[in-house]
Amino acid sequence: MAYIPSIGHGGTYNRDNGGAFGVAAVACVEWQLMHDTGAKALFVGSECRLCKDSHWQTASRSLK
């Protein structure tokens, strides 16, 4: 789970390229459906980019 607390239910999809939520959504699809390891790095591992971004709050149960 990843979200930005200050952003409402509609997310950032009305911004250019879907904003931060759009970037995360596309990366999730690329990781899960296209097995893109670069996109995977946004969500998991020691270099998890969403985990390190202070705007996002994240939580997972053994996501690999």
What span, in angstroms and rounded, lies between the C-alpha atoms of 24 and 19?
A: 9
Task: Please determine, for residue 3, whether its predicted confidence score (pLDDT) is greater than 90.
Answer: no
pLDDT in tens, 12-52: 999 998 999 999 999 999 999 999 999 999 999 888 899 99
**In sequence order, what DSSP letters do the residues of 11-59 get, joined into one string?**
TTTTSGGGHHHHHHHHHHHHHHHH--HHHHTTTSSTT-HHHH-TT-EE-
pLDDT at 42: 93
57 bridge partner residues = 3
Instruction: Please report, for the chain, the start and end positions of each structural domain, with discontinuous segments joined by +.
Output: 2-6+21-58
pLDDT at 41: 92
